[in-house]
Structure 1
Amino acid sequence: MDSLRSMGSMSETASISAKVFVFLFLFRYVRLIVHIIAYFCYKPLPVPANPTVTEKDVTVIVPTVSPSGPDFEQCIRSVVGTNAAQVLVVIVGKAKLADARVFCDQFPTICTAMPEVRTPITILCDDHVFWPTYFLPDVLAPFEDSKVGAVGTVKCVIREHSGFSNRDFWNFIACLYLTRRNFDQRATSAIDNGVSTLSGRTAAFRTTILAAPDFMHEFCNEYFFFGMIGPLNADDDKFTTRWLTNHGWLIKVQDKKTTQPWCVYAVYLTSMVNFALFYDAGLLFSLWMAVRDGDCAKMAMCCLGAWIFCSKLVKISFHFLRYPADLVYLPGYIAFAYFHSLIKLYALCDAEMLIPCAKIPEYGTMNADLTNVNTTATSSRVPSPDGHSEIASSSSHSSVGTSSSQSSQFHSKSGIRCNSDCHKKSD
């Protein structure tokens, strides 16, 4: 009798474990399969023969706290080379550098520059981003649709090989971070124009959106936790994405319904519970509990392990095709991916991370004198093998006029480039 009860209990446990496994597997991998299909179905909007929105309709805002750095100089050269109508550089100045290290956010820089914008399109650009000369036509093409409020870009990290070293590994991790992000952004954009975040590294907006008083007020006075903590010092790109979505604007590409049923699952919900360490452990444990008494238990576990491993290569496979030597870092990448789950869990549970939010001035209260940037520069045109834009450095010099503002520390990551597609850098 006890034996029968034991067998019944084991059977019930196996049944429950099987159901848990199926749920976890489908919740995690249906998204991946659909994204693979959508990735290859994606088609960018072509540049119209007679565009109504051109480079002369664009103002570029570049906040920086390091105007003497090499990345900033190359950034300005590349931006000026696109023939934008206006380039505004917002700096803190030496006298306010100490304040910049206290405030640590980008919100005031944007609020300072916006009253100076006189064009219908505004592009926010980080000071470590390098554009190709013919970058703007591709970015401006979606604005032919009056329902499009903003256009994002695809980013690539410049791969700087420095030998097998700690520095080289972290540069590799940075490359894979944006490679994975580009994969998901392209897939969700093809499905329903949804994006998780309109990256602040380079993004184009209709000026009427950014210059609206209600946008500016909320942009510089965003609180969370029932309005008890804030204003936030980060999250500017998340804020603009939420604002555009909540106000019915399309982001990036073509005219579709503004509802995003797929992205609610594929982007927003999964991003809240995207802990690879716990997901994979749960899948392996639930499958083992379901099949441990069967004859094919080991085979099932091996198949699942192979599936998990291969699934981690899907989004980053293009990087290894460009840089096959980076395969030596693959074990380290997988280990870091699991460790990253612990980092996110720590950040979620660490209440101290929520407290130090510096107060920033409301829109219109900053003492700033922003002037237009008069620049002269050229930028080399380097076509990529498939005809897309390729970012290239320039040997020309530019004369940049800047002004100080009560802006904030801008944490830059050198070596990040933006273009309409990602390809190997041409020297």
Structure 2
Amino acid sequence: MTVWEVLAAFRLTIRNIEIASSTHIDGGLPCLSGRTAAYRTVILKDPEFLHGFTHDYWLGEVPAQLGHGWATYVQCCKEAELLSTMKPNWRFLKQVLRWTRNTWRSDLRSLFMERHIWTAHPYVAYTMVDKIFNPLTLLVGPCLVSYLMYKSTIPVEQGGYHLPWWNILLSYFVWLSATRTLKLLPHLWNQPEHIIYVPAFILFGYYFAIMKIYALCTLHEVRVISFLLCSALPFPPLCFPSFLGLGLSSLVLPSLSLIPLPHFL
């Protein structure tokens, strides 16, 4: 596996923990992959839903997600486990940027336009708010560490910091390594050799924080690709238009195992 594939696997591990937690805490879900979902036929046959889905736009350019009141559920069990391929090169970053823009659009819509998520799924609302401020708080860390390291070069009598600069830097590195590795334990348990990529994942975290801010400032940039996606369920299929990563991922069928659907980029 390339470093890009390992980074993607790390992100997927953390995401699986997040969606499993939200599902069991308040039954909510911030986002569900359309490739690993099953949908009720009645949803796709509902003219009101189809009209709302195909006429719901983000800033008049790209269709936004439309939950339409249907419940979601994630099956977190061995029987529903699926394998996935990752981008083996730097194009993984472009994929993450597209996903990040989609997340901003979906979260802002849910929190400040629809707003029912605050009462229906308060834990999911909390995680969405946390993701809004996370880039800023993450980037503040190195700034504060740099400031303390500078203060440590000044004598304490003149208002300097009492710890040496190497102590501050080492403490920060140990804290980052411990907290980031803890999140990756499910993956490292099965692939312990990937622990050498943890430093790269830490650096990627800071890059991702900057990317999230950039994505927020470029939400107007969209690429729309329409195609026909046919239901893979064991009842009469129905084809409907879907749009680049913004399909009916929030309309999962709880009673069936997750079924992989075609992936289009």
TM-score, normalised with respect to structure 2 = 0.57
Matched, 1:343 2:228: no
- 1:197 is displaced (CA, Å) by 0.4
Query: Residue deviations 1:76-97, cap 9 Å, x none?
Result: xxxxxxxxxxxxxxxxxxxxxx
In structure 2, distance between residues paired with 1:372 and 1:313: 38
CA contact (8 A) 1:221 1:231 kept: no
- 2:73 corresponds to: 252
Q: 2:174 aligns with which of 306, 328, 337?
A: 306
In structure 1, distance between residues paired with 2:38 and 2:239: 23
1:190 to 1:297, Cα distance in 2 relative to 1, 3 A = farther
1:372 to 1:313, Cα distance in 2 relative to 1, 3 A = closer
1:283 to 1:186, Cα distance in 2 relative to 1, 3 A = farther
Q: 1:230 aligns with which of 39, 61, 82?
A: 61
- 1:253 is displaced (CA, Å) by 6.8
Q: 1:264 aligns with which of 120, 125, 128?
A: 125
For residue 295 of structure 1, what is the amino acid of its counterpart? Answer: H
Q: 1:220 aligns with which of 33, 39, 54?
A: 54
In structure 2, distance between residues paired with 1:339 and 1:306: 19
1:290 to 1:218, Cα distance in 2 relative to 1, 3 A = farther
Greater Rg, structure 1 or structure 2? 1
TM-score, normalised with respect to structure 1 = 0.37
CA contact (8 A) 1:250 1:258 kept: no
Q: Percent identity?
A: 26
CA contact (8 A) 2:176 2:202 kept: no
- 1:211 is displaced (CA, Å) by 2.5
Q: Which residues of 2 match residues 13-162 of structure 1 at below 5 A? A: 161=1
- 1:316 is displaced (CA, Å) by 1.1
Matched, 1:315 2:175: no
Matched, 1:295 2:162: yes
CA contact (8 A) 2:148 2:161 kept: no
- 1:313 is displaced (CA, Å) by 1.5
CA contact (8 A) 1:287 1:301 kept: no
In structure 2, distance between residues paired with 1:199 and 1:293: 51
For residue 131 of structure 2, what is the amino acid of its counterpart? Answer: S
SS of the residue aligned with 1:353?
coil
CA contact (8 A) 1:280 1:308 kept: no
In structure 2, distance between residues paired with 1:265 and 1:357: 30
- 1:347 is displaced (CA, Å) by 2.4
Query: Residue deviations 1:154-193, cap 9 Å, x none?
Result: xxxxxxx4xxxxxx21211221121110011112222212
In structure 2, distance between residues paired with 1:371 and 1:320: 35
Which 4+ residue blocks in structure 1 deviate beyond 4 angstroms?
A: 285-292, 296-302, 370-374, 402-410
In structure 1, distance between residues paired with 2:232 and 2:216: 42
SS of the residue aligned with 1:205?
coil
Could you tell me which runs of 5 or more consecutive residues in structure 2 were left unpaired when the two chains were aligned. 76-117, 153-158, 246-256, 259-265
Root-mean-square deviation over aligned CA pairs: 4.3
1:179 to 1:409, Cα distance in 2 relative to 1, 3 A = closer
